[in-house]
């Protein structure tokens, strides 16, 4: 019985882990120190995380490109 419970809990963990992996992805970007520092200063001034700002910029780029090509998607990001 304990083995079945353990297997069940492990399966729930792996299902949740796999679902979470599909929700997000990572993007690594190399920047000069000066550019990163300037970007961080701008984000600090606007009170926004750098990651949130990058996501916003990318979502806007994708949305604009889809509009230009006639493929409007309001759920970008």
- The Cα–Cα gap between 65 and 58 comes to 11
State pLDDT tens for residues 39-75: 999 999 999 999 999 999 999 999 999 999 886 555 6
pTM equals: 0.59
pLDDT for 26 = 86
Domain boundaries defined on the chain: 24-77
pLDDT for 3 = 61
R_g of the chain computed on alpha carbons: 20
């Amino acid at each position: 019985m304990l083995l079945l419970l353990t297997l069940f809990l492990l399966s729930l963990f792996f299902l949740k882990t796999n679902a979470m992996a599909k929700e997000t992805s990572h993007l690594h970007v190399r920047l000069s120190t000066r550019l990163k520092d300037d970007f961080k200063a701008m984000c600090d001034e606007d009170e926004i995380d750098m990651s949130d700002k990058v996501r916003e910029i990318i979502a806007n780029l994708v949305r604009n490109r889809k509009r230009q090509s006639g493929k409007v998607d309001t759920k970008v990001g």
